[in-house]
Every structure is written in C-alpha cells, then in structure tokens.
Amino acid sequence: MKEAGDYAGKAGILLAVEPLNRFESDVLCTTQQAMELLDAVDNPAVKLMLDTFHMHMEESSIAEAILLAGDRLVHFQANENHRGFPGTGMTDWVEVCRALHAVGYKGPVSLEPFRRNDDRFGVPFAQWRPPHEDESNRLAAASAFMKSHLLLTEYRR
C-alpha cells in the first residue's frame, strides 16, 4: 500500500481504501480498522472512502465513524441500509450530513444502488444487473434528496 501510495502520489492521484462489511471482506470492516491501516501506511496519497451501506452493519454510529475519519475522508457513498436509493430506507440522513459538515467534507457524494443479475435463491448477491426499468426519475429524486439534506444540515449546525 505504501508503494502504491508513492506511485499514486507522483501521478497526482489519491487512493481511497473502503471498509466493507464482514460478509464481503475480512480485511477492513470498520472505520477504526481503516484508520489503523492509514496510520501504518502513513502516505498522504492514501485516504479513506466510506459507504453507508457497509457502515450500517459494522459501525455502532455512522456519524461517529465519519467524525473519526475526519479530513482523511475523500469519497462518500450514500446508500440505504438495504443498498437502495437514499431516502427509501432507515438511514438517519440528517445525522450523517451533520457529521459530514462537522469534518468539513467537500468531496464527492455518490449513489450506488446495487442490483443482481440473477434473482434465484443462493446466487451470489455481489453481481450487478441492469435495471428492469428506466431509473432516471428515482436517481434524480435520490440526488435531490441528498442535496437537500446536505444544504439543510449546513445551515442548521
């Protein structure tokens, strides 16, 4: 990772490690583990990416994990607890967005609705599938939802 960070840094690129839930990885599952890795690597080109889907399973508090990440956070994926569009699940987006503002996060916020290409029982879930319908309106609504929460929490700190 140090060598990759050196190479990336010389090219003006940031690498971001992403903690994944225990069902998808046993390398990094929590923000705390990722911070320990970043401390060990000690390279300014190696940072952190967080995804609320994974955080729902591994963190006791998504907001606290964001605060722990602080200025090392360079990419944020906004996903629901069921991996769907923001605003359709159980995520406390006000709390999440307040934490992002608290750490001064200015990086990208991406959406990653997840699909499989085979709905049969027992087929591995980590397979992407194309949507069965045009999701432009759902993506636009989720994007507007996130923007509104980011703006709302920015002014209500």
Active site residues: 18, 112
Say if residues 65 and 100 touch (Cβ distance below 8 Å).
no
Rounded to whole angstroms, the Cα distance separating 143 from 155 reads 19
The alpha carbon dihedral of 60, 97, 103, 21 has a sign of: positive
The helix/strand/coil state of 30 is coil
The helix/strand/coil state of 125 is coil
Rounded to whole angstroms, the Cα distance separating 105 from 99 reads 9
Place of tokens 């399973």: 57
Place of tokens 């599938």: 129
